[in-house]
């Protein structure tokens, strides 16, 4: 108060105690929050630099989730191609078996072939991940974005690996293998051909050699289908590898951004703990100094007793 006069020594000791108390309060706040820069008031430059790094880390963390989901979608499609490859090999085995089978067995083989072709389609239809199917049509695509500030992204176009797409015979009629086993018009095969049980029958093929040639043509189509599926699997696998690389980069990059932000904002708890002990000691000394200054005034008062 302006109407109270303090000696210079007392005022200096009081100001020192107030400053020490402010530092102690700040240190206690840092120990409580773990932050040396909690707001722009503490250090505007450090606060906004730290916030910029933290915000960028958050943006890339969101992209990490998108990349992870993209990897899962591609793995689902890759698993489907592996199963499709196995089914096509089974189909090939059925056609090869038909070369030496009798008509009754060929009828059973035809049924097996058609059932497996249907299962191939069903399997590929089931290979969806969050509504995206990359193996049962050409109308879907998967886009994975890597950054919110640039146009960096990966777009994967779907493939159609269903029987109607990969088992097309290279003939003028353009029919597929499943239909071929029910009746096709191609070199060496008459329109009367109905299924595998007709191979070798009179009026369908001119000879057993012609029938075997027809089956060899089907086997060739199946080989091509296997190559197509494997190429699709290779493409999907390559994209999985790339996305995994990008995910690893994003993870490390987010860690770097977070580390940089922490360097600007986090407090050194060991240092702040030591500071608090020193400040508490200083407070005690300041209080003792004030006590000494007060004793001088009390000595003056004793003269009037």
Residue 190 sits in a domain of what CATH number? 1.20.1330.10
Tell me what pLDDT residue 33 has.
64
Question: Is there a domain that residue 173 lies in?
Answer: yes
Domain count for the chain = 1
pLDDT (mean) for 200-227? 72
Question: Is there a domain that residue 258 lies in?
Answer: yes
Tell me what pLDDT residue 236 has.
92
| Residue 229 structural domain | 72-264
β-bridge partners, 136 = 160
Q: Is the pLDDT of residue 128 over 70?
A: yes
Tell me what pLDDT residue 73 has.
92
Cα–Cα dist 184/158, whole Å: 29
Rounded to 10 degrees, what is the CA torsion of 60, 61, 63, 69? 160
pLDDT (mean) for 75-89? 93
Express as a percent the part of the chain with pLDDT over 90.
Answer: 19
Question: Is there a domain that residue 16 lies in?
Answer: no
| Residue 176 pLDDT class (50, 70, 90 cuts) | very low
Question: Is there a domain that residue 136 lies in?
Answer: yes
Lowest mean pLDDT among 134-138, 224-228, 246-250, 281-285: 281-285
Question: Is there a domain that residue 278 lies in?
Answer: no
Question: Is there a domain that residue 159 lies in?
Answer: yes
Residue 199 vs residue 273, higher pLDDT: 273
Measured in degrees and rounded to the nearest 5, phi and psi for residue 178 equal -60, -40
Does the predicted TM-score (pTM) go above 0.75?
no
Question: Is there a domain that residue 204 lies in?
Answer: yes
| Residue 87 pLDDT class (50, 70, 90 cuts) | very high
Tell me what pLDDT residue 245 has.
92
pLDDT in tens, 233-248: 999 999 999 999 999 9
Question: Is there a domain that residue 96 lies in?
Answer: yes
DSSP 8-state secondary structure symbol assigned to residue 188? T
Measured in degrees and rounded to the nearest 5, phi and psi for residue 130 equal 55, 40
Tell me what pLDDT residue 243 has.
93
CB 146 within 8 Å of CB 67: yes
Q: Is the pLDDT of residue 78 over 90?
A: yes
pLDDT (mean) for 139-155? 83
Cα–Cα dist 90/116, whole Å: 8
Q: Return all residues near 54 (Cβ < 8 A) that are at least 6 apart.
A: 257, 258, 261
Tell me what pLDDT residue 296 has.
61
| Residue 175 pLDDT class (50, 70, 90 cuts) | very low
Residue 37 vs residue 59, higher pLDDT: 59
């Amino acid at each position: 108060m302006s109407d109270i006069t303090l000696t210079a020594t007392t005022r200096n000791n009081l100001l020192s105690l107030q400053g020490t108390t402010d530092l102690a309060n700040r240190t206690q706040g840092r120990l409580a929050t773990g932050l040396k820069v909690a707001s722009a008031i503490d250090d505007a430059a450090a606060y906004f630099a730290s916030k910029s790094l933290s915000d960028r880390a958050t943006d890339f963390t969101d992209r990490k989730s998108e990349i992870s989901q993209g990897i899962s979608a591609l793995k689902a499609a890759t698993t489907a191609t592996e199963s499709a490859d196995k089914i096509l090999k089974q189909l090939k085995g059925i056609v090869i078996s038909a070369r030496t089978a009798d008509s009754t067995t060929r009828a059973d083989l035809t049924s097996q072939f058609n059932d497996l072709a249907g299962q191939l389609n069903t399997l590929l239809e089931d290979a969806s991940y969050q509504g995206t199917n990359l193996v049962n049509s050409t109308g879907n695509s998967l886009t994975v974005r890597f950054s919110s500030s640039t146009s960096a992204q990966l777009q994967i176009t779907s493939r159609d690996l269903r029987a109607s797409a990969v088992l097309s015979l290279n003939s003028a009629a353009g029919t597929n293998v499943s239909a071929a086993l029910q009746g096709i018009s191609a070199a060496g095969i008459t329109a009367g051909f109905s299924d595998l049980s007709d191979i070798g029958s009179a009026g369908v093929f001119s000879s057993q050699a012609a029938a075997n040639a027809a089956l060899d043509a089907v086997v060739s189509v199946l080989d091509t289908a296997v190559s197509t599926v494997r190429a699709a699997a290779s493409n999907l696998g390559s994209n999985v590898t790339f996305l995994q690389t990008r995910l690893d980069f994003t993870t490390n990059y987010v860690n770097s951004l977070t580390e940089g932000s922490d360097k600007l904002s986090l407090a050194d708890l060991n240092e702040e703990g030591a500071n608090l002990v020193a400040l508490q000691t200083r407070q005690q000394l300041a209080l003792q100094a004030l006590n000494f200054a007060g004793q001088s005034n009390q000595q003056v008062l004793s003269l009037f007793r």
